[in-house]
């Protein structure tokens, strides 16, 4: 578990260096200060060859989060290529499985937010199965407002928490 997290963190550090449009990273542990500033990918490893395709920072598959507008579960166009890339990976790797975790900001009812997070995850699952993934490879669940990545009652925290994360089983 620790080593996987370590690989992820290294991968993500360089991902941040090369992709400024992706706002965040997909690790629970934020203590390493993954801010995307100053990380030099050449200093961290020898290009992409050392990485599993899912963690290769130069691959779209290393991007694992879809973000939403308030009260919305529509997957915005900017995230469709990411979702479709994962669907194609699942199509090409029949043994791979993902769990999609829908999340919401912390305003309102916890159970309603749980259902809203489910809709977000279901929406991603829909695109994935329409794009080649088998339904049995994709489980959509919700964490509602219970696992915020960002704390605080402000727009940036709320934006950060309205999210579906793509997690591969065994990671």
The footprint of another protein (CB under 8 A) covers 99, 101, 107-112, 114-116, 118-119, 122, 139-144, 146-147, 153
Query: Could you tell me the smallest distance in angstroms from the CB atom of residue 160 to another protein?
Result: 17
Query: Could you tell me the smallest distance in angstroms from the CB atom of residue 77 to another protein?
Result: 23
Minimum CB distance to another protein smaller for 41 or for 142: 142
Query: Could you tell me the smallest distance in angstroms from the CB atom of residue 17 to another protein?
Result: 30
Minimum CB distance to another protein smaller for 71 or for 92: 71
Minimum CB distance to another protein smaller for 22 or for 119: 119
Distances (CA, A) of 119 to 62, 95, 104: 23, 25, 11
Distance of alpha carbon 62 from alpha carbon 56, whole angstroms: 6
Distance of alpha carbon 149 from alpha carbon 59, whole angstroms: 23
Strands (E), 60-133: 65-67, 98-103
Distance of alpha carbon 121 from alpha carbon 35, whole angstroms: 26
């Amino acid at each position: 578990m620790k080593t996987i997290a370590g690989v992820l963190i290294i991968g993500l550090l360089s991902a941040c260096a090369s992709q400024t449009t992706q706002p965040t990273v997909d690790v629970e542990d934020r203590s390493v200060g993954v801010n995307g500033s100053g990380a030099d990918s050449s200093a961290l490893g020898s290009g992409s060859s050392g990485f599993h395709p899912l963690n290769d920072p130069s691959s779209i598959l290393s991007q694992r989060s879809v973000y939403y507008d308030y009260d919305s579960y529509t997957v915005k166009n900017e995230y469709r290529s990411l979702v479709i890339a994962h669907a194609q990976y699942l199509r090409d790797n029949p043994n791979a499985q993902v769990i999609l975790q829908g999340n919401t900001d912390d305003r309102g009812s916890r159970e309603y937010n749980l259902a809203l997070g489910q809709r977000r995850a279901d929406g991603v699952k829909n695109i994935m199965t329409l794009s080649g993934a088998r339904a049995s490879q994709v489980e959509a669940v919700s964490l509602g407002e219970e696992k915020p990545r960002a704390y605080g009652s402000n727009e940036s925290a709320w934006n950060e928490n309205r999210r579906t994360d793509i997690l591969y089983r065994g990671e």
